[in-house]
Structure 1
Amino acid sequence: MNILKVNNLSFSYGEAKLIKDVSFTVERGELFGIIGPNGSGKSTLLKLLSNIIKKEGGEIFLLGKELNQYRRKELAKVLAVLPQSTEVNFDFSVKDIVEMGRHPYLRNWQGITQVDKRVIERALRLTNTIDLVDKSINSISGGERQRVLLARALVQEAELLLLDEPTSALDINYQIEIFELLVKLRKEGTTIVVVLHDLNLASQYCDRLLLLNQGKINTVGSPSEVITLDNIKDVYGCDVKIDNSSSRPYLKLVSSK
């Protein structure tokens, strides 16, 4: 059963057509990756799926309901978003930032309950940020902020999690840690859509991939169907070697020397 269905989606900025008749589905419990070169429309597509920007044409169905028919608080209970930017304009504590993710569940004038506290503590432990709770969000590193904002998204307990380059500010050990966490969340029932520029991370961890090029879909399928010599040459314009000795392709750059 699909949790997300996109039909003929399009979006323009001025005269530039950034998303062109994009159609795909994401199945419940899937870790679905969106890849493509810079400027291909990956982040724009994720913003459309997040309802941050409004589509020009087409349809987006979340749990069988048109995305624009959701009320804001209702949507926040089924859809959580981790943006690419980790900048926070206000000098809140890490604790305050993560607690904000529980807002959809709070009634007017109601404080944080014991249930909320348990959900928040679990998210802090999962993201390895519990030791940061008393620090200012702007006093910690970009990588730490990325993990704190992921914790805030997790406490929404949403069925669909949208992530835009979640490991871009992280060291390699934290990149692996975050993706192992995403795999754990997927096994527990969370559906995840993630934008990535690292093709090997995408191949290693994603169930299926969507390869985007100039706002159009080049290929959708398993990592072995999408990460091929022809597709990489066609979309990225470079020659590579692909190791297919395991079940997941591993890409290596070809030296020009």
Structure 2
Amino acid sequence: MLKVNNLSFSYGRHRVLKDIDFQIKTGELCALFGPNGTGKTTLFKCCLKFLNPDSGTVRINGKDIRRLPPKQMARLVAYVPQAHHCAFSFTAGQIVLMGRTPHLNRFFTPGARDRKLADHAMQVLDISHLADTAFNRLSGGQQQMVLIARAIAQQTGLIFLDEPAAALDFKNQIRLWQTLQHIAEQGTAILACTHDPNHVSWFCHSTVVLDKSQLVAKGAPGQVMTQEMMDRIYGDTCQVKDFNGLKIMVPGTVDSQTTNVVAFPGNRKGIHRK
């Protein structure tokens, strides 16, 4: 669904991305992982046509994005930024309904099907009760859930998520990642930027790791999220432990005998053990 070939980008003389090469299949939840300043957001912007790369290509569903007009791009890919500032007093329900804009007629009038899809997207994330609340009055976490619901309502084959769980409490983080798994398994490709290695290990089908502007690893989390990899990008700040077949990243000073105190939700559905 997404294929990036030899992508490079620079801000003036400062090289941000160098020869990035990976692909994501339909039905795959892929994590974009790496330290701050390694080009993750810039990679998103290049894949979304917000920036023009110096070299390389990006294809979505086999189509070179350089040849895609904005409306066709919006029908192929949805994007959820880290934050969104709304200048007008739209309700949460109206924000979600905006996800249907690429599919509306020339009069931009949403129909019954559009409203049904928007309502369903809010139900998926259990935020229907926020539908009539002004978006600007919601908490940061609630706003993030609304923006993700908007992306779901957009009904694209590919979704980009920039730190989707950053503003959420622990319960909603777990619920969100499980929901993203479910959406992917229904036939959507998802690329989610995250700084939490445990989320990568527990929930994602694959991961792409950037460090110092280069791609340093890609593949299944069980193969990529190793002690060697964590040492390479973060030094000796954490240890990779195995807990009943599940990889857990713990602070580097924690002794291996203490990992049995790590608590997980009672419902472990959706957590990958690879």
Q: Amino acid of the residue matched to residue 103 of structure 2?
A: Y
Where in structure 2 are the equivalents of 1:76-91 lying within 5 Å?
A: 76-91=74-89
Partner of 1:111: 109
Structure 2 segments unaligned to the other structure (5+ residues): 256-274
Match among 135, 144, 147 for residue 146 of structure 1: 144
What is the CA RMSD across the aligned residues, in angstroms? 1.6
Partner of 2:171: 173
1:184 aligns with 2:182: yes
Partner of 2:269: none
Partner of 2:8: 10
CA drift of 1:247 comes to 4.2
CA distance in 2, matches of 1:22, 1:111: 40
Q: Amino acid of the residue matched to residue 46 of structure 1?
A: F
Q: Amino acid of the residue matched to residue 136 of structure 2?
A: N
CA distance in 2, matches of 1:136, 1:238: 45
Alignment partner of 1:81: what SS? strand
1:85-135 deviation digits (Å, cap 9, x = unpaired): 133233222122111111111112242211111101100111222111111
Alignment partner of 1:155: what SS? helix
Identity between Structure 1 and Structure 2 (%): 33
Alignment partner of 1:138: what SS? helix
Partner of 1:42: 40
Tell me the matched-pair count.
255
Alignment partner of 2:154: what SS? coil
Partner of 2:21: 23
Partner of 2:236: 238
CA distance in 2, matches of 1:238, 1:210: 21
**198 and 244 in structure 1: CA distance in 2 versus 1, 3 angstrom threshold:** same
TM-score between both structures, scaled by the size of structure 2? 0.89
1:161-203 deviation digits (Å, cap 9, x = unpaired): 1101000000000101111110110121111110000000111
Q: Amino acid of the residue matched to residue 111 of structure 1?
A: T
TM-score between both structures, scaled by the size of structure 1? 0.95
1:126 aligns with 2:124: yes
Partner of 2:195: 197
CA distance in 1, matches of 2:182, 2:253: 36
1:39-71 deviation digits (Å, cap 9, x = unpaired): 111111112112222212101111111012111
Contact map agreement 1:9 1:23 (CA 8 A) in 2: yes
CA distance in 1, matches of 2:108, 2:30: 36
Q: Amino acid of the residue matched to residue 210 of structure 1?
A: V
1:218 aligns with 2:216: yes
Contact map agreement 1:9 1:59 (CA 8 A) in 2: yes
